[in-house]
Amino acid sequence: MFAVPLTADAELRPLNPWHAEEFLANLDRARKNMTPWVAPAFIATDLDRARHVLQRYAERWARDDGGIWGIWCDGTLVGGVLLVSLDVDTGVCEAGCWLEPAAEGRGLVTRAVSRLIDWVIDERGLHRVEWRVLAGNVRSIAVARRLGMRRDGVLREVSPGPDGRRDLEVWSLLAPEWRARRAGDEN
């Protein structure tokens, strides 16, 4: 119920607190790839913490300032997309993603984020979608490029890391750019 097809065997659907066991299993499979790039608060290591992360996003959804959706492939949760922030008043949101290694290379994240962008622009009326990524995260930067985002700039040494401070790249897409891109796809 409430699923959006991404491919013949993959779909995007809401990820809720009652999915905590599936979410934790997915994070366990993705942990090695996610750890260098994702905030530790998101990468739950036990069931209570997984439930807490999903509950936090459920509360954000209820407040209309964020949300989280899972990508299921052949009935298994393999990753997801999220609105880290959503501000209807300013017309700006920040999108993000994660995916376990076994599901990489199939375009699932690009398709899922595209659906998310369609929704925030067409239904919510937002003007700007941001994508914030630690420099060096080549897979996430590739997604931003595939979506037609532009790199706005770099926040130098903004994030502490195990080997010193790291740069954060800010990418964005504006509603008119997204609409023009879709119109080009339709021709």
- Give the domain CATH number at 46: 3.40.630.30
Provide the CA 180 distance to its chain's centre, in angstroms. Answer: 22
Would you say how long the chain is, in residues?
187
Q: What is the mean pLDDT of residues 148-170?
A: 93
CA distance 54 to 70: 11
Domain span at 23: 4-186
pLDDT tens digits for 41-61? 788 999 999 999 999 999 999
- Pick from 11-25, 32-46, 90-104, 127-141: least confident: 32-46
- Look over the chain and give the mean of its residue pLDDT values, rounded to a whole number: 94
User: DSSP letters along 4-48, please?
Assistant: EESSSSEEEEE--GGGHHHHHHHHHHHHHHHTTTS-TTTS--SHH
Residue 76: per-residue pLDDT: 97
Residue 40: per-residue pLDDT: 78
- Using only the alpha carbons of the chain, give its radius of gyration: 16
Count of alpha carbons within 13 Å of 45, Cβ hemisphere only? 5
Residue 42: per-residue pLDDT: 83
Q: 64 near 88, Cβ under 8 Å?
A: yes
Say if residue 54 is exposed, middle or buried (CB neighbours under 10 Å; 0-12, 13-18, 19+). Answer: buried
CA distance 96 to 179: 20
Q: What is the mean pLDDT of residues 6-19?
A: 96
Residue 141: per-residue pLDDT: 97
Answer whether residue 1 shows pLDDT above 80.
no
How many folded domains does the chain comprise? Answer: 1
* Residues 57, 63, 66: CA angle, nearest 5 degrees: 45
- The pTM (predicted TM-score) of the whole model is 0.93
pLDDT bracket for residue 8 (50, 70, 90): very high
